[in-house]
Amino acid sequence: MSSTYKSTNRRRVRTRFAVKAAAHGRPRLSVHRSGKHIYAQVIADAEGKTLASASSIDTELKGKVKGLTKETAAAVGKLVAERAMKAGVTSVVFDRGSYMFHGRIKALADAAREGGLQF
């Protein structure tokens, strides 16, 4: 394994451990970012189920967003918040994974807060 993968994995595991400890039964808003797309899921760890999800490749966002920008991340954040509210989730804990909380990750989180999720 490469040292980059090891350090990224170590950061992700460390963050997820802290998030699950602080969750107190709340679902987790998990974010994944690739080179071309951004994905978000609201996960109930107790049941092991995904309650809501959204990504930049959703059909609802196809014509509205272009490329991987902060605006795209914000649109995904609003969409995942809307779907989570429909599923009855109002409070989550934010799991940024191994990513730093700035740029697209921060834009997604801020848009999810504007959409009604509390974290």
pLDDT band at 25 (very low <50, low <70, confident <90, very high): confident
| CA distance to 20, 77, 112, per residue, from 10 (Å) | 15, 26, 26
As a dihedral over the C-alpha atoms of residue 66, residue 62, residue 86, residue 93, rounded to 10 degrees, the angle is -40
User: Can you give the pTM of this predicted structure?
Assistant: 0.88
Asked if residue 40 is part of any domain, the answer here is: yes
Range(s) of the domain holding residue 77: 3-114
Residue 106 has φ and ψ, to the nearest 5°, of -65, -40
Tell me what the pLDDT averaged over the chain comes to: 93
CA–CA separation, 58 vs 65, rounded Å? 10
Residue 2: predicted pLDDT: 79
| Gap between the Cα atoms of 2 and 15, Å rounded | 20
Q: Answer yes or no: is 119 within a domain.
A: no
pLDDT for residue 110:
98
Residue 1, pLDDT above cutoff 80:
no
* Number of compact structural domains in the chain: 1
pLDDT digits (tens, 9 = 90+) for 30-81: 999 999 999 999 999 889 999 999 999 999 998 888 888 999 999 999 999 9
Copy the structure tokens of residue 107.
């834009």
